[in-house]
Structure 1
Amino acid sequence: MSQTVSPEISPSTPPRTRTWPAGFKDRLTCPLPDFREVLSVTWHGGLRPDIGDADQIPVMRAGLPPVGPRDTAATWVGHATYVLRIGGLTVLTDPVWSRKIPGVRQRLTPPGLAWSDLPPVDAVVISHNHYDHLDAPTIRRLPRHTPMFVPANLGRWFTRRGFTDVTELDWFESASIGEVSFDFVPSHHWSRRGLRDTCRSLWGGWVLTSPHQRVYFAGDTAYGDRFKQIGDRYPGIDLALMPVGAYEPRSFMHVTHVDPAEAVQACQDVGARRMATMHWGTFVLSGEPLMAPVREAREAWTAAGRASADLWDLAIGETRVLTG
């Protein structure tokens, strides 16, 4: 597998030409989800009748406020999509602006930022290839020269669509644009996009580091010891973007997604001072009440003795700023 690297990427980037293994099942820490999860997503995502509290999901479409050159701003667009302005760059995490993704009902809430209000995008980070994190219609809206940072063996998906600046990374590998480094880190998850590509590409999260702040984007993950590994390697994380939704029924979803209490524990494991919630309030993927993820995250945060100001339970479209 080859990768195309912009001249702006630092020399510390791994080699331009890579040969990846046929698959990454050896990286799994739990059995792959079985048919029960598939049936659960099908039921809750398309047939579940009890979504009457969707009007309680907070939406604040206020646009992007200005940000200083030493500051980092995080704007929650919905699900796992954030607009991060860090080190002078605008970075998208797992961008999904589509009204609907395969297999589930249309989104409950609109994107927190209109596509037309986006500034030029300097980079995109992708955690893995599931449809709620890698959305082809949204990716097609980006200029083909946009730098894409993606997991190992996922680069071809982008180059086939004409993208010319695609960097594939293995866990704990790093690339950079300007003064911002992009480090791909482990998660407890898996990958599949079609019937025959289970775990052929890698999955993980991202640590973005500027001269002034460090942000951890967890992507999609269950709970496990990899969070402490990340904290040991990347001390001083200022903000962790953590998934808190899609966790019921717990009997089998625990191998795929953290619940809110586990998200808080994971935030502590990585040593992050603040946690911003995500992966709830956008798509119906599981059985918990729609408002339970953020409510339980607040309860777990308080129970852990953390300062309430350090839990960023953002409304969709809301921005918070880390000052330099």
Structure 2
Amino acid sequence: MRRTLALALTALTGNPHRNVHYDAGKAHHTPSGFRNRYPHGRPSADDLRRWRAERKANHLPPPPTQDLSAVAPDLDFIRQRQTDPAVTWIGHNTLLLQVAGLNILTDPVFSERCSPVQFAGPKRHQPPGVALADLPHIDLVLISHNHYDHLDYASVSRLYRQAGGPPVFAVALGMDVWMKRKFGQLPADKLITLDWWESAQSGDATLTFVPVQHWSARTPLDRNATLWGGWVLEVKGFRFFFSGDLGYSKDVTDIAERFDGFDFAAIGIGAYEPRWFMQNQHVNPAESVQIHRELRSRQSMGIHWGTFELTDEALDQPPQDLAQACADQGLAAGEFFVLRHGQTRVLAPASAASHSQSI
């Protein structure tokens, strides 16, 4: 029975013990996948059992006390090609960035649950702030890693079949195998696959995949078989950082050293309690503000909160902790903000000072 299950899961995920992109000259590559650049402890099976037991005994997470319902999206605005930068929060890590005439979507998850099945698993607290059918034509999709709350097959499939042709999908090493298995041989100009610190061009936009501390898996058998990371997008002088999921590590310092500041950053602020279990996987709001400051981001937005109950803090706790962290670290009002689901904010344009990149 165990062998049958293993074979079935292997058939779904490809061979989890063979890294088709393996490069022995790169320290973060392994024959079966990838590893973080800066070693850190990871929770054990006993830790997971302890967390689940404590969570159940303490009736966590508590229900939110604030209204987190979505606001009606400004569809007339988002359906226009925006030259000046604007961002709309759809939920969790899914946002629509509009800049320089491009419509860019991050980690698209529009399904009811972030799960391999739709009858179980974490369920949305409210619907997406913008329905998939109401989106403008998407030009570019940035996917940070393959966890189910970041990579949703139904959502990617709908985007692949959008009117006017599929967007360009930018993914990490190993995720290209998943994409090709699901959608066949994508046109070369519709799939960008990058390793850490690699860059590629998509029209006027330059994309760079950057290392962050996290991990990947879609089954019990493919842990770290595909790469994970954050994205840097540069277009018409505007520089954007998308964190994906991350625990705080020296990777942040390394990114800051290679890029001379950011015009806008989307940084996770949720899914951080209990710290003894989550600290190496997800930053808390105080660390998010520290990342904002280290990256010299002119404006940042908190993501990865308020949509799915994943950890022990209430769904509405991250913005409260973020406000306190901003005050403690001396940020100006509005420098690091959150949006309601469906809300749009027009961003400050690209800095007048030219950016430099030293990769």
Same fold, judged at TM 0.5 (above): yes
Amino acid at match of 1:223: Y
Is 1:178 matched up with 2:199?
A: no
Distance 1:43-1:135 versus aligned 2 partners, 3 A rule: farther
Structure 2 equivalent of residue 10 of structure 1: none
Q: Is the 8 A contact 1:24 1:202 kept in 2?
A: yes
Structure 1 equivalent of residue 308 of structure 2: 283
Q: Distance in 1 between matches of 2:160 and 2:145?
A: 21
Q: Is the 8 A contact 1:187 1:203 kept in 2?
A: yes
CA RMSD of aligned residues (A): 2.4
Structure 1 equivalent of residue 127 of structure 2: 110
Q: Return the index of the structure with the highest Cα Rg.
A: 2
Q: CA offset at residue 167 of structure 1?
A: 1.5
- Report the number of matched residues: 307
Pick aligned residue for 1:146 from 148, 153, 167: 167
Structure 2 equivalent of residue 270 of structure 1: 295
Structure 1 residue matching 2:182: 3-state secondary structure: coil
Amino acid at match of 2:181: R
Is 1:123 matched up with 2:136?
A: no
Structure 1 equivalent of residue 17 of structure 2: none
Give runs of aligned pairs for residues 1-324 of structure 1, distance below 5 A.
Answer: 21-25=31-35, 27=37, 29-35=39-45, 36-37=47-48, 40=51, 51-53=62-64, 56-64=67-75, 65=77, 69-102=82-115, 104-143=121-160, 145-162=166-183, 164=186, 165-324=190-349
Structure 1 residue matching 2:232: 3-state secondary structure: strand
Unpaired runs of 5+ in structure 1?
1-16
Name the TM-score, length of structure 2 as normaliser.
0.79
Q: CA offset at residue 263 of structure 1?
A: 0.5
- The Cα offsets for residues 198-248 of structure 1, whole Å up to 9 and x where unpaired, read as 111111000111113111000000011111211121213011101111111
Structure 2 residue matching 1:161: 3-state secondary structure: helix
- The Cα offsets for residues 61-92 of structure 1, whole Å up to 9 and x where unpaired, read as 32342567541111111110011112211111
Name the TM-score, length of structure 1 as normaliser.
0.87
Q: Distance in 1 between matches of 2:317 and 2:295?
A: 24
Structure 1 residue matching 2:334: 3-state secondary structure: helix
Distance 1:106-1:180 versus aligned 2 partners, 3 A rule: same
Percent of residue pairs bearing the same amino acid type: 37
Distance 1:87-1:285 versus aligned 2 partners, 3 A rule: same
Q: Distance in 1 between matches of 2:129 and 2:53?
A: 26
Distance 1:37-1:245 versus aligned 2 partners, 3 A rule: farther
Amino acid at match of 2:111: S
Distance 1:100-1:179 versus aligned 2 partners, 3 A rule: same
Structure 1 residue matching 2:137: 3-state secondary structure: coil
Q: Distance in 2 between matches of 1:119 and 1:240?
A: 22
Q: Is the 8 A contact 1:63 1:113 kept in 2?
A: no
Q: Is the 8 A contact 2:70 2:126 kept in 1?
A: yes
